[in-house]
A and B are shown apart, each in its own frame.
Chain A
Amino acid sequence: EIVLTQSPGTLSLSPGERATLSCRASQSVTSSYLAWYQQKPGQAPRLLIYGASSRATGIPDRFSGSGSGTDFTLTISRLEPEDFAVYYCQQYGSSPRTFGQGTKLEIK
């Protein structure tokens, strides 16, 4: 099973700042099958990024993903108030599919 470790656990930033979230895999992720999801309180997760770097439909271009192999990054270039949420990475190339434990992005 591929273990995904996200860091930091909590990130405190202000609107307008840049956020960098990390996701490290215990072994190489097949074909960069790595996705990022955003979850706000009381809501279902929402797909942001798939294939490590492709934005999902309707996702603003301030969200970007990068990385390959075992190291992946989600970057939010300029934080908007609605971006404060929990972010999860997920690998979907190997069974079982696994999620990281999440990074909480909070307002400083």
Chain B
Amino acid sequence: EEQLVQSGAEVKMSGESLRISCKGSGYSFSNYWIGWVRQMSGKGLEWVGIIYPGDSETRYSPSFQGQVTISADKSTSTAYLQWSSLKASDTAMYYCARLFPRATGYMDVWGKGTTVTVSS
């Protein structure tokens, strides 16, 4: 079964760093793009960016460029989303999803999400 398993909920203070993860299984992780999506409480879905684990090519939404870093380790089939200095406005649910069949692909397999809470 193809699945993405995300790391657990995080509670952090403003200014701290954080890395959350998304581990794929049941398919060739290196060969499909992974995307990250933000959902603030009670709000809609926002595109953060995508990464190709095979060569770590990364593309960001202009709204998130410079605010987060997306990375991947193909040896462990894991993608990451990280912040160097969290803000209260980063509080949200973050989903990872597989893009099928390429970068211009729809999101067919989703993780359950990681809740990030940042206190000021």
Interface SS of chain B = strand
- Distance of A44 Cα from B106 Cα, bound (Å): 15
Q: Which of A60-104 contact B (CB under 8 A)?
A: 88, 90, 92-93, 95-102
Shortest CB-to-CB span from B32 to chain A, Å, is 14
Cβ-Cβ contact count across A and B, 8 Å cutoff: 61
Q: Quick one: given A98-B47, A99-B44, A99-B46, are A44 and B104 in contact (CB under 8 Å)?
A: no
Partner of A47, one of B104, B107, B113: B107
Bin the interface of chain B by size. Answer: 20 to 34
Q: Which of A18-32 contact B (CB under 8 A)?
A: 30
Interface SS of chain A = loop
Q: Quick one: given A96-B47, A99-B47, A100-B44, are A35 and B112 in contact (CB under 8 Å)?
A: no
B108 near A56 with CB under 8 A, answer yes
B108 near A47 with CB under 8 A, answer yes
B105 near A92 with CB under 8 A, answer yes
Shortest CB-to-CB span from B47 to chain A, Å, is 5
